[in-house]
Structure formats: C-alpha cells, structure tokens
C-alpha cells in the first residue's frame, strides 16, 4: 500500500447520535492524503459533526474512524479495539488542526502569542523558534503588522486569518475548516478565502472544508461531497457535482443555495 | 481627654487591623483558588475535600470558627497530648482566611465555569493538556470575572476583622473598646471607629480597582 491509495481519513460505518437524533447514519467516507475535500449540504446534515469527530471534540456511537490507518476513537487492546484513552487521543490529535466558525482565538493573548502558545507549551519549541514560526505564518496570512495587537482589535476577517495561522503553527497534516467564513461580514469573506485558497495550492496539506461558499468550493476542491441526513448522498469532482448532479436532492439543494 | 488623644491608640489598633486584613486576604485567595479549582476536579477525593471545606466554612458562623480555633482547639489538642494553642494573631488570620476562602472558592469556581466552551474546544484542538488549558487558557480569562466579587469579599473581610477583638487581639475595635471603657465617651469613640473602618474600606476598594484594571488590561488595550 502506498500513501496515494491509503486514505489518511477513513470513516467506517460511523454512527453519531445526539439524544434521539441520528446525525451520522453509518457514514462511510474517505479522504486521500493531500486531497482537498469540501463538504456541502443543508444545516443539520452532519457536516460539521464529521469535522468535530475528527478533531476529537465529539465522540462516536458506532463504527470506526481511522486517521493515517490508526483508529482515532479506539485503541488496540488485548481483546480487540477498546475506547481510546486521553493519551491516545492526544497522540492522534497532533496530526489535525481546526479552524473554527467563530475563530475561537484566545482573547487574553496577543495575536503572536495566540500562535506561539501551543507550539511552546505542547510541542516544546523554544520561545525564539516559536516566535520565528509565528512571524512566518503571520506573513503567510498577511498580518505581519498585527503581531502585538489583541484579537478584539482586529476585524473578523483578520481574526480568522490568525485562526488559520494558529492551526498551521502546530504543523498538522490534516487541516479542518468548519464554516470558516460563515460568521464574517460579506466584505471580509474574500480575504479569508484567498488565504485558504493559497494553502490549498500546497500539496502536502490534506484539507477538509465545510462551507456554504459554493463558488469557492468549486475552485479549490478536488472532490465535493453532498451530505444529507447523516450520509453522503452524492460525491464527485466539483465539475460533476455542480454542473451535472445525478441526485434530485442534490439538484434541489444546489438550486436553493445558488439562487 | 480630648478626642485627638484617641488618635494614637486607635492608629495602633488600625495597624493590627490592616495586617490582619492583608494576611487573611492572601490566605483566603490561595484557599479560594485551591478549593474552587478542586471542586471542579475529576478526582473525587480532591473534589470531596474541596466541597467539605467550602460547605463547612460557609455554613458556620465566623465568630464560632474563631472561638473554636482559639478556645476549643487547644483543649482538644490537650486531650490527645498535642499543644495546639495558637497565638491570637494566628487564630484570627486562620479563621478569617478560611472563612473568606470558602466564599471566594465559589467565586473562582463560577468564573472558571463561565469561560465559554469555544475556548476549551480551541485548546483541545491545539492539543493542550487539561492542566495547560486550565492554567493558560481558562484561569487567565476567569480572573477578570472574579474581580468584582473579590473586591466585595476583601471589604467584607476587613470589616470581619473586628470580631478578633473578642479573642483579645489589639485591633482597631479592641482599642476603641479600651478607650471607651476608660472615658465612657461612646459617641466620639464609635464615630471615629466608623470613619476609620470606612476610610480603610475605601482604600481596599481603590486597591482592588487598580488590581482589576491590571488583570483586565488585555480587554481594554487599544480602546
């Protein structure tokens, strides 16, 4: 098996329930290394839940999630798989990073410190090395001049770019974007999408994006998945899915959001 | 005696009150954080000890706690052959600190729990451990929320120090009582006592404001 055929993310009949509501209904889903995948679908279809399960913010009620061939929510015990310990989750989590809808920056830290805190405390980088990495990333997201500001002094678009830099500072191999532009004023969406688009051009990062920005999804994705009622209703290249969806439900949804 | 003759002995007592307030507030703050964080611990022993401490000291009278530490503890110690006699200052600081710490613990707990879940999720996504999240993310954001209540508790603590005069500690109230017994000039003495406590409370309030401004400076930087 080579890296190109072995999926970096694999959902195998994954079930997730919130009370009586089944959010993921035996979901099968794979992402290849370096692939840029966009998940679209109506709200409540389980799109964000997929990301939150991968980031270990939500557990699962059935099935197996594997990251890089290793179970995420389980670990190998003497009698087969058993629920993952916090130590296992911590080890696995290092491969993933997440960009949140509401940015979730740390309000009591400067922009630079938001980015360097985890590399120093979690990865054990020296302060100088973390600072260097932080400044590089701020340049990447076009915010070099904002390093010493606090989050509340920035616009939403700037805050989200800091959020992206903060996630990248941990050098994840998979980056998850949970509706990264949904909380932004329309005029600030572009600057964030530009940064994400630039990242997508780097081939080594696997990207999984939940968004309502259909045009953007079409531009950057290798594959688009239409989620409905806890399952993938339809998937394909952006070309296939947006111009010639085969499912009636997909057509309905696309018509509603593209109008 | 002229009222100005009362000033010197009153100031002597006031100095004792200041020290009592300072030491017991520091002790109370340490206990408040320990028990407030402890109450949120997943370890049931730590949680149990914290809850027991908070409930016992909030649920009993400060005066009784003070008498117990000063009068009852030495006798209990003597019964089992240990010398547990405490100097009045120690008994006073302990009782005040333990009492204010129990109230403060609930403030600490509440402020920590009020930090938005978004912050915990961000910390988890960045792979911070539970301890790192608590000390680097949650507590720094919770402290500004604690400050107004801590300010109230500090003033409350200052006023509560008057009770230590009952274990013959020479604080402000004790000195005032002494002068009154000697001169019978109740109106003057008690008026001066009121104003002195009030002046000290103003100082405590101002100090807490400054501290509050210091710990919330990240909120206001750049306007």
**3-state secondary structure at position B41:** coil
Where is A92: in which H helix or E strand?
Answer: helix A86-93
Residues of B with CB under 8 A from a CB of A: 118-119, 121-122, 124-130, 132, 136-137, 140-141, 218-219, 221-222
pLDDT at A1 over 50: no
pLDDT at A203 over 80: no
Q: Tokens 């005069």, residue?
A: B165
Of A56, A94, A152, nearest to B124 by CB-CB distance is: A56
User: Which pLDDT band holds residue A127 (cuts at 50, 70, 90)?
Assistant: very high
CB contact under 8 A, B129 and A90: yes
Q: Rounded to whole angstroms, how far apart are CA atoms A95 and A55?
A: 9
What per-residue confidence (pLDDT) applies to A46? 86
Average pLDDT in the B183-212 region?
A: 94
Average pLDDT in the A63-78 region?
A: 92
Where is B12: in which H helix or E strand?
Answer: helix B7-38
pLDDT at B152 over 80: yes
CB contact under 8 A, A149 and B222: yes
* Contacts A100 to B, Cβ<8 Å: 118, 121-122, 125
A161: closest CA of chain B, how far (Å) = 15
Average pLDDT in the B81-87 region?
A: 90
Q: Vertex B205, ends B199 and B210: CA angle to 5°?
A: 130
Q: Tokens 């509440």, residue?
A: B110
What per-residue confidence (pLDDT) applies to B154? 96
CB contact under 8 A, A166 and B221: no
pLDDT at A8 over 50: yes
User: A82 forms bridges with which residues in the sheet?
Assistant: A75
Among A118, A146, A175, pick the best mutation site for testing chain B contact (most B Cβ within 10 A). A118
- Domains, chain B, ranges and CATH? 3-221 (1.10.3720.10)
CB contact under 8 A, B126 and A118: yes
What per-residue confidence (pLDDT) applies to B198? 96
* Contacts A86 to B, Cβ<8 Å: 130
> Two tokens at A123?
């990865």
Nearest CA among A168, A2, A122, A14 for reference residue A69: A2
What per-residue confidence (pLDDT) applies to A45? 82
> Two tokens at B3?
């009222």
Q: What is the DSSP string of A138-181?
A: HHHTT-GGGTTS-GGGS-HHHHHHHHHHHHHTT--SEEEEESTT
**Full-prediction pTM beyond 0.80?**
yes
**Worst-scoring range by mean pLDDT, A203-212, B46-55, B197-206?**
A203-212
B135: closest CA of chain A, how far (Å) = 11
Q: Tokens 């061939």, residue?
A: A69
Burial B103-139 (b: 16+ CB within 10 A, else e): bbbbbbbebbeebeeebbbbbbbbbbeeebbbebbbb
**CB proximity A153 to B under 8 Å:** yes
Which residues, including other chains, have CB under 8 Å from residue B154's CB and lie 6 or more apart? B21, B25, B204, B208
Average pLDDT in the B104-117 region?
A: 96
Among B126, B130, B140, pick the best mutation site for testing chain A contact (most A Cβ within 10 A). B126
Indicate the average pLDDT of chain B: 94
For B6-45, the pLDDT digits (tens) are 899 999 999 999 999 999 999 999 999 999 999 999 999 9
CB contact under 8 A, B132 and A57: no
* Contacts B221 to A, Cβ<8 Å: 150, 153
**3-state secondary structure at position A231:** strand
Average pLDDT in the A191-214 region?
A: 90
pLDDT at A35 over 70: yes
Average pLDDT in the A157-177 region?
A: 96
User: A201 forms bridges with which residues in the sheet?
Assistant: none
**CB proximity A102 to B under 8 Å:** yes
B55: closest CA of chain A, how far (Å) = 32
What per-residue confidence (pLDDT) applies to A258? 78
Neighbours of B80 (CB within 10 A): 7
pLDDT at A257 over 90: no
Average pLDDT in the A28-44 region?
A: 92
User: Which pLDDT band holds residue A2 (cuts at 50, 70, 90)?
Assistant: very low
Q: Rounded to whole angstroms, how far apart are CA atoms A37 and A39?
A: 7
What per-residue confidence (pLDDT) applies to A6? 81
Of A107, A121, A122, nearest to B141 by CB-CB distance is: A107
For A215-250, the pLDDT digits (tens) are 899 989 999 999 998 899 999 999 999 998 989 999
Of A104, A109, A118, nearest to B121 by CB-CB distance is: A104
């Amino acid at each position: 098996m080579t890296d190109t055929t072995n999926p970096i993310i694999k959902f195998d009949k994954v079930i997730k329930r919130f009370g009586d509501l089944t959010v993921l209904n035996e979901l099968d889903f794979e992402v290849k290394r370096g692939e840029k995948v966009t998940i679209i679908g109506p709200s409540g279809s389980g799109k964000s839940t997929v990301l939150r399960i991968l980031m270990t913010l939500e557990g699962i009620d059935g099935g197996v999630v594997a990251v890089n061939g290793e179970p995420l929510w389980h670990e190998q015990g003497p009698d087969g798989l058993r629920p993952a310990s916090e130590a296992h989750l911590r080890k696995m989590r290092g491969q993933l990073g997440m960009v949140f809808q509401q940015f979730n920056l740390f309000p009591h830290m400067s922009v630079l410190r938001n980015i360097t805190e985890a590399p120093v405390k979690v990865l054990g980088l020296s302060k100088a090395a973390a600072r260097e990495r932080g400044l590089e990333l701020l340049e990447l997201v076009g915010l070099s001049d904002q390093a010493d500001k606090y989050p509340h002094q920035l616009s939403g678009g700037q805050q989200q770019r800091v959020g992206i830099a903060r996630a990248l500072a941990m050098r994840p191999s998979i980056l998850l974007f949970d509706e990264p532009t949904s909380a932004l004023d329309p005029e600030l969406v572009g600057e964030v999408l530009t940064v994400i688009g630039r990242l997508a051009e780097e081939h080594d990062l696997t990207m999984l994006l939940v968004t309502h920005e259909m045009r953007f999804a079409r531009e950057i994705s290798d594959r688009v998945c239409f989620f409905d009622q806890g399952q993938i209703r339809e998937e394909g290249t952006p070309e296939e899915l947006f111009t010639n969806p085969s499912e009636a439900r997909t057509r309905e949804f696309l018509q509603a959001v593209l109008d | 005696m002229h009222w100005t003759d009362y000033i010197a002995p009153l100031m002597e007592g006031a100095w004792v009150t200041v020290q009592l307030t300072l030491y017991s507030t520091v002790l109370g703050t340490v206990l408040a954080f320990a028990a407030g964080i402890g109450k949120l611990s997943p370890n049931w022993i730590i949680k149990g000890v914290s809850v027991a401490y908070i409930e016992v000291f909030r649920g009993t009278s400060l005066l009784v706690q003070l008498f117990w530490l000063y009068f009852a503890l030495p006798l209990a110690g003597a019964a089992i052959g240990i010398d547990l006699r405490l100097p009045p200052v120690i008994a006073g600081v302990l009782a005040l600190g333990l009492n204010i710490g129990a109230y403060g613990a609930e403030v600490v707990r509440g402020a920590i729990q009020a930090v938005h879940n978004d912050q915990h999720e961000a910390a988890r996504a960045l792979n911070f451990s539970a301890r790192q999240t608590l000390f680097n993310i949650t507590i720094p954001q919770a402290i500004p929320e604690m400050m107004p209540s801590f300010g109230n508790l500090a003033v409350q603590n200052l006023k509560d120090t008057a009770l230590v005069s009952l274990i013959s500690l020479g604080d402000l109230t004790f000195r005032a009582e002494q002068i009154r017994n000697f001169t019978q000039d109740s109106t003057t003495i008690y008026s001066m006592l009121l104003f002195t406590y009030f002046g000290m409370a103003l100082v405590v309030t101002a100090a807490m404001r400054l501290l509050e401004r210091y710990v919330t400076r990240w909120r206001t930087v750049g306007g």
